[in-house]
Chain A
Amino acid sequence: MAERPGPDLPPGEGEDGKAHAANMLTLEIVFLGIVGLVVLAAFLEALSYELVSSRTPFVIMAPLFLLILIHGFRLWRVRREVDMARRLRLALAGRTAQFNKVAAMSGWMAALIAVIAALGHYAGIFLFGVWLMAVLAKERLWFALAVVGVTTALIYGIFEIGFNVELYRGLLWRWYAGYRDF
């Protein structure tokens, strides 16, 4: 079976094919570097366990290290072709369209958890949905409110009434309900 040469994703806005391939290669080097560091940390952590507990992780991590090194070496050999440092600087300066979109989506999702934790599940998904549709996607506000409202009501119906699952009410509600242990 032939090995595919690299990651595949259509070029983002403002990226030609070459720049896109260079961005993807840079992203993969960073990704693999992080994965390698995490695995290294896990390896060092596993050294402190009893042999019975660390045996299976070692059986897994030994070939994993080898594969990361082999693949990392392959990527590292071609890094000069992509001018990795410049690509990273561009991405961090917000000048890579694809990276911006993913970073923004990750940020919104982090905000979603924060809102759910503070205001509760229903408020969280409602605000998140309206934000995505009305603010980011520029849909009409009444349409966004209607779609997200119906979705939230359906979720309430299915989970709270249908399956008897009480969704998280949020720290604020818990505070006012008299809970002091969070």
Chain B
Amino acid sequence: MTIIEGMMSGFVQSISLGVLAYLVIGALFGLVIGVIPGLSGHFAMAMAVTFLYSMEPGAGIAFILGAHATVAQGGGLTAILFSTPGTGQNAATLLDGPPMRDNGQAGLAVGAAMASCFLGATFGAIVLGLLIPVLREVVLFFGPPEVFVLAFLALTFVAVLGKEDMTRSLIAALLGLLLAMIGVDNVTNTHRFTMGSDRLADGLSLVPVILGLFAVAEMIDLWTRGGALARHTSRPLSARDTQKQIFQGIGLAFRKWWLVLRCSAIGTTMGLIPGLGSAPAAFVAYGHAKQTAKDKESFGKGNVEGVIAPEASNDAVEGGALASTIAFGIPGSSSMAILLSGLFILGLETGPQMLNDNVDIIFIMIFTIILGNLIGTVVGMFLVNPLSRATSIRAEIMVPVLMAIIVTGAYAGDRSLFDIGVALVFGVLGYLMKILNYSRAAMLIGFVLGFAVEKNLYLALLLDGPWFIVAEPIPRALTIITVAFLGWNVLAIRRDRRRTKYHG
């Protein structure tokens, strides 16, 4: 399939009723989840993935990516209105959003944030489209040894660059890989780590593991904290003033197109690097906007550029993150790992096959991101006040409702009661990991990559023998980068510790 054919087919499928309906539902779902503090993008995707079993590939992708696309928009909205970012990636918006609200410009900030999200996401999606021809060539150089080493590089990046402690994250990543070894070995038919259980012969199912780590764990966390989800709430805005300001804010984001473009480029580039994610990209973009602004002093006191920059950047990340996920099957974040699981459920394979035979699927992703954000912006424009009320839902009401859906989702995939147990056990494990600062993203990525790691290790040993890591230039270079990156970070940590000790 040529790229033009794929683009046309992807566009037609994206706007067909069978796909668009799921996209709208997914986008609205993501927006509501984004508004609710404590529930993030990977929660929205974890919940969405449970519905994929009964969907066509196009509809499934539209649903899951639509949900993911609008989470940041919802999160930005509450960051501005209530000083409570719905998701971590909106933390940078707190710097200038709430001061704008306090200056009576809440609508302006919301409008600018939503339009920036849309523009950033569109930029990232277009870059993804433009990268397809390049990725088609690059991916041909990646055989089993390269993919094996790349998987470890990605895991190292996720563990080191994530917000959690490095050693704990590396432990989590390796535990994830080990969990993927449960089940019958494809080569020798040996039952590994199944403890004699037939249920474990096929390994742990992805959906209950995802639901447990990200959905059940969040529910336990919300339940133990209790109370209203947003702690600082203010009165809803007056509808007419808000509407007027929102439109002005949208216009402002378009007028600041050069800033949007630069910050989107920052986001997309950072999205290409596994493990960085949206939150650091938003802060880097904010710093860039402040550095290049003429009135640096106004940042932090309610400068609209301080809202536009992080919001454009954190949505542009997805385009970059999708590129490495689609090309190499190596997810760089928990959201991408869940998306990859979703693609497996829908019967799709990443890598050369997707880049060559299923280009239409990639373009469905691209158009879904753009349309999803457009839907989010339009809905956000008119429903700011009703949406913002979602923050006042108490955990005591939300947890029972969401737990019922989570448990049903865990069962529905394989119609297995055992999977409910898996989800609940992983929920407790995920909660413990969360409070003890172990990276759940690293564990999930390790788990998702486990099969690929084993398959490629087996093939690499067959092809190049035990020294495959250093036999060819690409694995050699990737190994050097992995070791150097890890070593440099270990040294940096030791240096920091010595400095802290010295300064008392």
Contact = CB atoms under 8 A, between A and B. Distances in A.
8 nearest CB pairs, A to B:
A137-B396, A129-B400, A125-B404, A64-B174, A163-B54, A53-B185, A53-B190, A7-B436
Contacts, number: 184
B470 interface: no
Contacts of A172: none
A88 interface: no
B192 A49 contact: yes
Contact of B412 (A68, A101, A167): A167
15 contacts: A4-B437, A6-B437, A7-B435, A27-B435, A35-B175, A56-B458, A112-B403, A121-B408, A128-B400, A132-B400, A133-B396, A147-B397, A148-B401, A155-B404, A155-B405
Contact of B193 (A31, A45, A129): A45
Contacts of B431: 102
Interface string B134-172: 000000000000000000000000001100111110110
Interface residues of B, number: 62
Given A55-B461, A102-B431, 17 more contacts: A9-B435, A10-B225, A28-B436, A31-B436, A39-B175, A53-B185, A53-B192, A56-B458, A57-B178, A60-B178, A63-B170, A109-B427, A113-B421, A129-B403, A152-B404, A163-B53, A165-B415
Interface string A155-166: 100010001111
Interface of A: 1-4, 6-10, 12, 24, 27-28, 31, 35, 39, 42, 45-46, 49-50, 52-53, 55-57, 59-61, 63-64, 67-68, 70-71, 74, 98, 101-102, 105-106, 109-110, 112-113, 116-117, 121, 124-125, 128-130, 132-133, 137, 139, 144, 147-148, 151-152, 155, 159, 163-168
Contacts of A165: 53-54, 412, 415
B436 A64 contact: no
B453 A147 contact: no
B166 to A, nearest CB: 6
B401 A112 contact: no
Interface of B: 51, 53-54, 160-161, 164-168, 170-171, 174-175, 177-178, 181, 185, 187-188, 190, 192-193, 216, 220, 223-225, 396-397, 399-401, 403-405, 407-408, 411-412, 415, 417, 420-421, 424, 427-428, 431-432, 435-437, 453-454, 457-458, 461, 489, 492-493, 496-497
B408 A155 contact: yes
A112 B407 contact: yes
Given A56-B457, A106-B428, A42 B188 contact: no
B401 A129 contact: yes
